[in-house]
């Protein structure tokens, strides 16, 4: 069995279709992340601010002695995650509804014609019954 060199293995790995698809997915995912982040930060969080009075929770903290615990960062990250997940869910649900239009139910197949010998046998059976 011939061993391939590192460069040859890498070249084979990188030229596979799955790797290229994954690379495209990562690039599009990065761009999509920017869109979702903008949606959360520029539209949804300002709407939440009308109810809470704050656009961001990052200013929330408490102090124990000389130690500051900025729990607001944690809350902000949870809110960002939940809003990002919700926005992503809604967008994917909308995209999937466009792709999965209901197809009409297939028409039932007509019953195959009864062979002539079966028809003849049925005719004989019916005659004998009479």
Contact 12, 4 (CB under 8 A): yes
Q: Where along the chain do its domains lie? A: 6-129
pLDDT in the model for residue 95: 81
Q: Average model confidence (pLDDT) for the chain? A: 80
pLDDT in the model for residue 65: 92
- Residue 2's pLDDT band, with cuts at 50, 70 and 90, is low
d(CA 57, CA 60): 6
pTM of the complete model: 0.47
- 102 in helix, strand or coil? coil
Contact 70, 58 (CB under 8 A): yes
Mean pLDDT of 14-42: 79
What percent of the chain clears pLDDT 70, i.e. is strictly above it? 92
Tokens standing for residue 39: 């949606």
Q: pLDDT tens for residues 71-103?
A: 888 888 887 788 778 877 888 888 888 876 666
């Amino acid at each position: 069995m011939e061993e391939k060199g590192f460069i040859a293995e890498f070249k084979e790995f990188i030229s596979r279709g799955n790797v290229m698809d994954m690379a495209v997915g990562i690039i599009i995912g990065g761009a999509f992340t920017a869109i979702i982040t903008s949606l959360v930060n520029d539209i949804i969080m300002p709407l939440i601010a009308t109810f809470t009075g704050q656009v961001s929770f990052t200013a929330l903290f408490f102090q124990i002695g000389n130690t500051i615990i900025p729990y607001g960062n944690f809350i902000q990250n949870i809110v960002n995650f939940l809003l990002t997940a919700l926005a992503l869910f809604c967008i994917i649900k909308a995209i999937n509804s466009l792709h999965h239009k209901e197809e009409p139910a297939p028409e039932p197949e007509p019953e195959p014609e009864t062979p002539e010998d079966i028809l003849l046998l049925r005719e004989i059976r019916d005659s004998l019954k009479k």
